[in-house]
Amino acid sequence: MNGSAKLLIYGGICLAVLGMLYGLHYAVFVEHQTLDRMGGSLTAAFVHAAERNSAASAMALAAYGHTKHDYVRQVDVHSHWVGLAMIMVVLGVVFGRVQFPEAVRFWLAAALLAGSFLFPLGVVLQTVDHGRLPFALAIAGAGLVIASMTGIAWGLAKAR
């Protein structure tokens, strides 16, 4: 097994463990409370509207929007880390068939590993920082994943 394959297989297992640990932490300590808060704020928006208290209703609706924004991203991180990790391990097993020199293969593997870690990280950071850095991280990570996957697909297509 060469260095690029090792990087993908070991990096993939580490990323899968990270994604699962995050998912477990989220399920135990965050998810139920978040769902409760989301349902509670939407209910409050309608209850306050029925009480003809439009200011409280608008506030509750805004709270619902914020909670849902965070919830979607927190769930996405778990699934994307684990999903990308599995793809990395499979590609690691077959990486010897990618028809490029080992140096190119290593950079493709490194780009895929970096992108797979950074893209979901950028997504989850959007829940704590509404600035540009999390967006930049997510876009750069997704770009790295797509570019490296395209390169790998090309390398595999060259194999006969």
Partner 1 sequence: MASQAIPAVRLTFAPASARRLLLFGGIALIAGGMLFGDVFAVFVLHQNAGRQGEALMAAAQAVAAANPSAAQQVFSGLGGLLEDRGTKVDAHVHMTDAGYLAVLLALLQPYIAFPHRTARLLAALFLAGGVLLPVGIFLIHYVGVAYSPFAVIGWASVLADSAGALLIGVLIAEGWGVWKYLHGQRAASGALEVTQESGWSQRVLLSGGTLLVLLGFLHGAWCSAVDLYRHEEQETSILQNILQDAASPASLSAARVEVANFGNLAGARAVEIAAHSHIIEFGFLAMLLAFVEPYVFLSERWKRRWIGVLLAGSLILPLFVLLELKLGLLAGGIADLGGLMVVVALIAMLVGLLRYSGSLDRPRSAA
- If binding is defined by CB under 8 A, does position 63 make contact with partner 1? no
Cα(157)–Cα(11) distance, integer angstroms: 24
Q: Does 156 bind partner 1 (CB under 8 A)?
A: yes
| 47, 103, 133, 136: residue in contact with partner 1 (rule CB under 8 A) | 47
Q: Are 4 and 109 in contact (CB under 8 A)?
A: yes
Q: DSSP of 43-106, one letter per residue? A: HHHHHHHHTT-HHHHHHHHHHHHHHHHHHHHHHHHHHHHHHHHHHHHHHHHHGGGS-S-HHHHH
Cα separations (Å) of 30 from 26, 97, 131? 5, 42, 23
Interface with partner 1, residue 94, by CB under 8 A? yes
Residue 38 CB, nearest approach to partner 1 (Å): 9
Interface map 104-143 toward partner 1 (x if CB under 8 A)? --------------------------------------x-
Q: Which of 158, 155, 2, 9 is nearest to 87 (CA)?
A: 9
For partner 1, the binding residues (CB under 8 A) are 1, 6, 9-10, 13-14, 16-17, 20-21, 23-24, 27-28, 32-33, 35-36, 39, 42-43, 45-52, 54, 57-58, 61-62, 64-65, 68-69, 72, 79, 82-83, 86-87, 89-91, 93-94, 96-97, 142, 145-146, 149-150, 152-153, 156-157, 159
